[in-house]
Structure formats: C-alpha cells, structure tokens
Amino acid sequence: MSKKRAIIIGGGPAGLTAAYEFKKYTDIEPVVLEQSEYWGGISRTVNFKGNRIDIGGHRFFSKSSEVMEWWEKILPIFSEQENFKVTYRNKSVDLNRTTTAVSKDAEDVMLVRSRKSRIYYDKTFFDYPISLTPETILKLGLFNTFLIGVSYMKSLLFQIKPEKNLEDFFINRFGKNLYKQFFKDYTEKVWGIKCTEISPEWGAQRIKGLSITEAILHFFRQAFQQERKGHSSEKHKHLPD
C-alpha cells in the first residue's frame, strides 16, 4: 500500500504548522509547495549583515490560546524582562520566559520588540494604524478630508451590489477616495495581487465591526470629554483593524 501524502500550498506559518502536525501525529507525508525560494511567508525574518529585518510590520496574534501556547513552545519568547504580559484579543496573559537558555542572538526564539509603524503617502508620514485625529486631518488637508467624507456618504447611499471583489467591499465601507489612498496600494503590495482579483469574503474575514460613523463620533467624544473625569476609556478600532 502506497504511503499517503498531503499537499500543502504555501510555506508560511500555517503551511509549516500543518506539515509539522502531519509529521508528528500521523503517518501522512506532507509535501509543502512554496512559490518563492524562502520559507516563512510574510512572517519570516531576514538576517542582513547581522541585522534582523521583518518582512512587513505585522503583529503575531491568534484568537486561540492553544495556538499561542503552541507557538510559545516552538519559538520561546525572548524579552528583556523576566516576566511580562502579552495582550491579544482583549485578553491579557502573563508569560514567563522559558527555563532553557535563551538569548537575543538565538535563531529559534520569538523576539518581543517595541515598534513604530508609519505609512508614507503623498510625501507625508502617517501613523499606522491610521486613526481619526486632528494630526491626520491636518496632514490630509481639509479639502481632501472633505472629499473623503463626500465619497464615504456616496458609498452609503449607492452601495455596489453584488460585491464582486475586494475593491467593491472596500468602496462600500470606506468610499472610493479613502480606498484609493490607504487600502488599494497597501493591499496589492502586501499580497501581490490586484484588489479586483481578490474575493470580497477575504475582506469580511479580516475587517469586522468597523464603522467610520462610529469612528467620527468617537473622535468628537474624545475631543470634548478629554478633560472630564470618569469618561469612557474604550478605545475604538483603528481603520486597518
């Protein structure tokens, strides 16, 4: 009887995890197909002349504690602190560094680092994730902000039905102006495919519960309640969230 094989498309974290689980718990031989010459997908870290460089400013998180614990075993977390807290999906977990010898120079660890991410658009740096703040409006310009608002109102009144691709999904939720400025190029550069060729279901999976109307109301609540004690400290989702 020939040995069973599992074909896994993509050598990113999900593909490599699947292959590892097949090897560890089954007699099925995994075959991972990766288009590029590198492993790890956009989560990989490149070592360039002793400097570690991440491909893309991505956070690592999961809804599942089991998944987080699995990765903690595969790549022990390294931090300058002995004990530290990791917060994800509104859940905080106290993690202890592994008892085995771990150093920041080791290759098989997950490094914890502070970061500052920004988008360079129209010769200007915008904080990333983008949030509705006076600084953002100032950098966009009042007229451009006005056009974004008009475009958004138009998208509310004239929805694209049915949504055939990710472009339709973005325009329906953010308006054409905001989509072209901050969503289109970024998405296509990261994933290497046009938004018109990506399913709208992809957007539904990655962008949930976001309302620009709520973001605007939250902006004004913050502006007028900043000095008031006891006001809600709830933080609204950023646009990329």
pLDDT at 165: 93
Question: Which of 222, 210, 218 shows the shortest CA–CA distance to 152?
Answer: 210
Which sign, positive or negative, has the C-alpha torsion 215, 218, 222, 224? positive
The DSSP annotation for 16-52 comes to HHHHHHHHHH-S-EEEEE-SSS-SSGGG-EEEETTEE
Would you kindly state where each structural domain of the chain is located, as residue ranges? Answer: 1-54, 59-115, 117-225
Return per-residue pLDDT of the chain as tens, 241 residues: 678 999 999 998 889 999 999 999 999 999 999 998 888 887 888 888 888 787 765 666 676 778 877 887 888 777 666 666 766 656 666 665 543 445 556 677 777 777 777 778 778 888 776 676 788 888 888 888 889 889 989 988 899 999 999 999 989 988 899 888 888 888 888 788 999 999 988 877 776 555 666 666 666 666 666 555 554 444 444 444 3
pTM: 0.55
For the chain, how many helices (H) and strands (E)? 9, 10
Q: Which CATH class, in words, describes the domain spanning 117-225?
A: mainly alpha
Residue type, 214: E
Question: CA dihedral defined by 139, 217, 168, 196, rounded to 10 degrees?
Answer: 40
Nearby residues of 17 by Cβ (< 8 Å), 6 or more positions away? 70
